[in-house]
């Protein structure tokens, strides 16, 4: 039994300053198994990976690799012991070719002075054959898709006699098909006796691939076991520490119309789009990439305004030609790319919260800093941003918390219509359900809510009305009683 175990961690603790990033983590990785490490953002997954790969030295606890105590590893030691990590950005060289990317590491490691091009091609071809990848070895990395870059990173990792491969959230940027392909490769590695640990928090993907699962929460070990011991409820409970309702949103139907668009068109993006939002509605807007779903959001917020059509808010027709118009009409927009469009990462939570509403704090001749602080503190409490104060830079927050700050920013402008584009992308389960609860509450208060998303389960659970876009037109408007399969067919255009 003992020699089956490749890696064993016991009571690992690591703190930065006064904060325990890891507070007693146990983990056991067996040879040739596929192990999933799950947990919400900020639960210590990345710190744990860095501890295993020798980047961080642990404060307490034991790291056993192949039966040897290895507490004082550096990254080179870890690689020599066969531990390879593939981070989310893959750390590949975009301006080098596939073959160079795969083989150069080995050349450097073997202290070769001269580059042997034949050898490089041989090594690259061999590595690709091992994982079953078929990529032209002479293409530069920057020309490859995300999935192929990942393949190259995997090939590079295994040529150095890897025994244990860690994949950090490998599926975030992949399409469903690419994920399938990745799993094939992972299974091939497993066949060769290589242990693979996948960091992931999507349960359906974990079911597809994992043999065993370990869940962390707040830097501590929660549970571990074979995958079949986990159902959806236990998984969510272990991840978040509480039960999360899967209840569908079914508001009382209201006659009171809040928002309506008629025949909204923007050539090249969408055409003749009409829909309405009533009081209490959380409207979902979905479609495949390129269907125009995102463009409608940007048009209603004035980023790329519609060229024709009518927009009514609370019974009044409004025109939106730019962002200022949208804000003037009390329309809020949470953009799809939170990091570059939604947030000032280096500025404080306070700055981010009042960024759009700063004018209302300008009294007499100066800004009322106390009122700004009070408002921010109120939103931190109401929305539930996990932070000691309003001072820390948003950069230090997890994805879910950062998204709550973006939401606070708009709520502080008292919006009448609130459009959210991909509100829960990269947000963990707990924060996700909190954000959903906030949206429901806002809808009940009479604020029009539009959620733009391609996360079908999310839409079906939270939106009582779903507008399906296809090729720039409204293909269907449905309620959330339909099955996910039907909705997906509508998106693809396989049904009417």
Partner 1 sequence: MKTTKTTPAVPALKKKGLKPDTHITVLLSMMAFVLLLMAVLKPGSYFTISNLRSMIFQFPEYGVLSFGMMICMIAGGIDLSLVGIMNLSGVAAALIITNMGGTNASIVLGCAVALVVGAICGALNGFIIASLSIPAMLVTLCSLQLYTGLALAITGGPAINNMPDAFKNIANGSIGPIPYVLFIFIAVALGMAFIMNCTVFGNEIYFLGSNARAARYSGINTLRVTVMTHMLSGILGGISGILITSHLNSAKSSNGSTYTLLTLLIIVLGGVHPDGGKGKVMGVTLSVLLLQLIANAFTIMRAPDTFKTFVNGCLLVAALILDVVLEKRAAKKAAKS
* Residue from 3, 359, 381, 496 binding partner 1 (CB under 8 A): 359
Total interface residues for partner 1 by CB under 8 A: 38
Please say which residue, 70 or 367, places its beta carbon nearer to partner 1.
367
| Residue 18 in the binding site for partner 1 (CB under 8 A) | yes
Q: Are 11 and 26 in contact (CB under 8 A)?
A: yes
* Least distance CB 405 / partner 1 (angstroms): 12
Q: Are 341 and 297 in contact (CB under 8 A)?
A: no
Give the number of residues written for the chain: 496
* Residue from 347, 378, 445, 494 binding partner 1 (CB under 8 A): 347
Please say which residue, 324 or 492, places its beta carbon nearer to partner 1.
324
What is the pattern of x (binds partner 1, CB under 8 A) and - over residues 366-395?
xx-----x--------------xx-xxx-x
Query: In angstroms, what CA-CA distances link 84 with 102, 160, 163, 183, 400?
Result: 14, 9, 8, 18, 29
Query: In angstroms, what CA-CA distances link 330 with 77, 233, 336, 413, 450?
Result: 57, 39, 19, 7, 14
Token digits of residue 161: 């006699």
* Least distance CB 201 / partner 1 (angstroms): 22
Angle between helices 117-131 and 176-191 (to 10 degrees): 100
Give, as one character, the DSSP assignment of residue 251: P
Residues 201-230 that bind partner 1 (CB under 8 A): none
Integer-rounded Cα Rg, in Å, for the chain is 25
Please say which residue, 246 or 389, places its beta carbon nearer to partner 1.
389
* Least distance CB 272 / partner 1 (angstroms): 27
CA distance linking residue 150 with residue 144, whole number of Å:
10
- With a CB cutoff of 8 Å and minimum separation 6, the contacts of 183 are 208, 209
Please say which residue, 301 or 418, places its beta carbon nearer to partner 1.
301
Q: What is the dihedral of CA 256, 257, 258, 261, to 10 degrees?
A: 180
* Least distance CB 23 / partner 1 (angstroms): 15
* Residue from 4, 16, 132, 253 binding partner 1 (CB under 8 A): 16
Residues 397-426 that bind partner 1 (CB under 8 A): 409
* Residue from 70, 220, 345, 477 binding partner 1 (CB under 8 A): 345
Name the one range near partner 1 by CB under 8 A: 16-24, 62-70, 124-132, 182-190: 16-24
CA distance linking residue 131 with residue 87, whole number of Å:
18
Residues 312-341 that bind partner 1 (CB under 8 A): 323-324, 326-327, 333, 335, 340-341
Residues 263-302 that bind partner 1 (CB under 8 A): 301
* Least distance CB 260 / partner 1 (angstroms): 23
- 3-state SS, 65-116, equals ECCEECCCCCHHHHHHCCEEEECCCCCCCCCCEHHHHHHHHHHHHCCCCCCC
Q: Which residues bind partner 1 (CB under 8 A)?
A: 16-19, 301, 303, 323-324, 326-327, 333, 335, 340-347, 351, 355-356, 358-359, 362, 365-367, 373, 388-389, 391-393, 395-396, 409
């Amino acid at each position: 039994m003992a020699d089956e175990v490749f890696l064993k961690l016991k009571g690992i603790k690591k703190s930065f300053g006064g904060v325990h990033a890891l507070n007693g983590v146990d983990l056991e990785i067996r040879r040739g198994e596929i192990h999933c490490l799950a947990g919400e953002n900020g639960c210590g997954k990345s710190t744990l990976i860095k501890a295993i790969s020798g980047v961080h030295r642990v404060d307490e606890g034991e790291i056993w690799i192949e039966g040897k105590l290895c507490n004082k590893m550096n990254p080179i030691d870890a690689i020599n012991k066969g531990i390879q990590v593939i981070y989310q950005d893959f750390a590949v060289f975009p301006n080098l070719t596939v073959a160079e990317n795969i083989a150069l590491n080995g050349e450097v490691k073997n202290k070769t002075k001269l580059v042997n091009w034949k050898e490089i091609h041989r090594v690259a071809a061999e590595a690709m054959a091992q994982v079953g990848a078929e990529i032209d070895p002479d293409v530069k990395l920057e020309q490859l898709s995300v999935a192929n870059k990942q393949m190259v990173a995997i090939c590079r990792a295994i040529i150095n006699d890897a025994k244990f491969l860690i994949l950090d959230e490998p599926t975030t940027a992949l399409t469903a098909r690419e994920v399938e392909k990745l799993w094939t490769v992972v299974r091939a590695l497993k066949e060769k006796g290589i242990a693979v640990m996948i960091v992931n928090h999507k349960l359906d993907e974990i079911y597809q691939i994992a043999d065993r699962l370990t869940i962390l929460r707040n830097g501590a070990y929660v549970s571990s076991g074979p995958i079949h011991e986990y159902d959806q409820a236990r998984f969510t409970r272990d991840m978040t520490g509480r039960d999360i309702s899967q209840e569908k949103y079914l508001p009382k139907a209201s006659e009171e119309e809040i928002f309506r668009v008629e025949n909204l068109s923007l050539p090249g993006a969408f055409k003749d789009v009409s829909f309405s939002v009533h009081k209490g509605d959380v409207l979902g807007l979905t479609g495949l990439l390129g269907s125009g779903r995102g463009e409608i959001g940007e048009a209603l917020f004035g980023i790329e305004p519609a060229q024709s059509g009518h927009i009514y808010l609370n019974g009044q027709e409004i025109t939106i030609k730019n962002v200022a118009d949208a804000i003037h009409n009390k329309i809020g927009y949470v953009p799809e790319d939170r990091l570059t469009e939604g947030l000032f990462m280096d500025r404080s939570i306070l700055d981010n919260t009042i960024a759009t509403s700063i004018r209302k704090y300008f009294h007499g001749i100066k800004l009322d800093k106390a009122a700004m602080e009070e408002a921010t503190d109120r939103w931190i409490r109401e929305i539930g941003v996990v932070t000691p104060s309003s001072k820390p830079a948003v950069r230090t927050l997890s994805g879910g918390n950062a998204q709550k700050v973006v939401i606070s920013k708009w709520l502080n402008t008292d919006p009448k219509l609130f459009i959210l584009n991909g509100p829960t992308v990269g947000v963990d389960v707990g924060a996700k359900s909190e954000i959903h609860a906030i949206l429901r509450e806002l809808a009940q208060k009479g604020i029009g809510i539009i959620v733009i998303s391609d996360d079908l389960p999310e839409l079906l659970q939270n939106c009582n009305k779903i507008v399906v876009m296809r090729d720039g037109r409204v293909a269907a408007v449905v309620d959330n009683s339909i099955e996910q399969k039907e909705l997906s067919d509508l998106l693809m255009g396989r049904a009417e």
